Structure 1
Amino acid sequence: MIAILKWLYNFLSFAMAGLRARAWGLAAKNVGHHTYLFPGVRLLSPGNVSIGDFCCINHGTDIGGAGGVEIGNYVLIGPNCQIITANHKHSAWDVPISRQWIEEAPVKLGDDVWLSANVVVLPGVTIGRGAIIGAGAVVTKDVEPFAIMGGVPARLIKYRFDELTRGKAFNTVFGPEASK
């Protein structure tokens, strides 16, 4: 009986996350097929947010789309992540920060990226295909494909594969597209 209840809970959680993705898809630039947005996910300026196919975005994640956000296919975003595309300017000494202009820059997440829990991605960052960002990291600069990054600010820990394998992996096509 407990196994059936666990299965039912998981099934309903993903079914509701799928419905939530479809609902956000009405406001967002794009939300792909088989994408799941769990409770508490917020898309700010959703008209500037594009999410690919087969993505899973966990609860409590905020995606600020003011500067534009492009999320590739097969992306995993852990709970309580922040994708930020706008910041306050702070260079004028004679104007309060709260009254200075907002500076926007797009964020791009390549295919097969995994953001662990509580990751912060700052404006203007591109995270390359297959990269993994460790829990609690703050990504301030572009991330190379297949890099594993961690820390504040995020630094390279290692690559997922050796250089030859990275070259092969970069050209790999996933899912239904692979048969074309």
Structure 2
Amino acid sequence: MNSRHTLRAYWTSLFYHFGPKKVFFWSIENLFNFIFSPLPIIGGSQIRSFAFRYLFKKRGKGFFTSPGVRLLHCYNIEIGDRCSLNYNVILNGRGGLIIGDDFTSGPNVIVWTVEHHFKDRTRRVLEQGEIEQPVTIGNDVWCGAQSVILSGVTIADGTVVAAGAVVTRDTEPYSIVGGVPAKVIGYRNNQS
């Protein structure tokens, strides 16, 4: 099979699974990521914020992005006010992603809303399909560098996710979670 047939099969598969509207939107989104993601921090954040304004389901005021940020399936992403995405953050909104006000991320944070079915040993993982589950991130949440938030998770208000943590379960309000998988390692309090 030559590359032209492979490409045709790829696009046919996309249209079959997602429909022409989502494929068109996905193409525009990839073009936006390709053009705007590498722009430098000075001036680039304002350009990215303006460009992605029309792709999000909802976007609050004061949205800031550093270079390298990748936003996937923006049509299912809602972002609150005063949110900041650091270098190389990836947000996947395919299963639905809601981010509250005052969210801050360290570099290389990943928020993923889809995963593969894999329990049937008689079939290849890729043949078992995918499951989309929404992620909700509350207000005043900070995710440290290289932390990962997996599908179906709710991050409660005030949570701090430690650097390198992999969050697989819901968190408690004002908790500090860390590790793989993430567990409560402390709580935020008013004492210095």
The normalised TM-score by structure 2 is: 0.75
Q: Are residues 1:100 and 2:128 paired?
A: yes
1:120 is aligned, of 148, 167, 171, to 148
Alpha-carbon shift at residue 34 of structure 1 (Å): 0.8
Q: Are residues 1:139 and 2:167 paired?
A: yes
Query: What is the RMSD computed on CA atoms of the aligned residues?
Result: 1.5
Distance 1:40 1:140 in 2: 25
Q: Are residues 1:66 and 2:68 paired?
A: no
Aligned-pair identity (%): 39
Q: Is the 8 A contact 2:59 2:80 kept in 1?
A: yes
- Other-structure match for 1:80: 108
**Structure 2 stretches lacking a partner, 5+ long:** 1-39
- Other-structure match for 2:185: 157
Matching residue's letter, 2:58: N
List per-residue Cα deviations over 1:34-65 (Å, max 9, x = no partner).
11011111111110011111010011111111
- Other-structure match for 1:6: none
Secondary structure (helix, strand or coil) at the match of 1:108 reads: strand
Secondary structure (helix, strand or coil) at the match of 1:19 reads: helix
Q: Is the 8 A contact 2:82 2:102 kept in 1?
A: yes
1:36 is aligned, of 64, 69, 83, to 64
Q: Is the 8 A contact 1:14 1:36 kept in 2?
A: no
Distance 2:62 2:42 in 1: 10
Distance 1:110 1:22 in 2: 24
Structure 1 segments, 4+ long, off by >4 Å, are none
Distance 1:33 1:18 in 2: 12
Distance 1:101 1:78 in 2: 31
The normalised TM-score by structure 1 is: 0.80
List per-residue Cα deviations over 1:71-113 (Å, max 9, x = no partner).
0001001110110110010122222101111011000110000
- Other-structure match for 2:117: 89
Q: Is the 8 A contact 1:21 1:31 kept in 2?
A: no
Alpha-carbon shift at residue 26 of structure 1 (Å): 1.2
The count of corresponding residues between Structure 1 and Structure 2 is: 152
Matching residue's letter, 1:28: F
Q: Is the 8 A contact 2:113 2:133 kept in 1?
A: yes
Distance 1:154 1:37 in 2: 26
Distance 1:34 1:107 in 2: 21
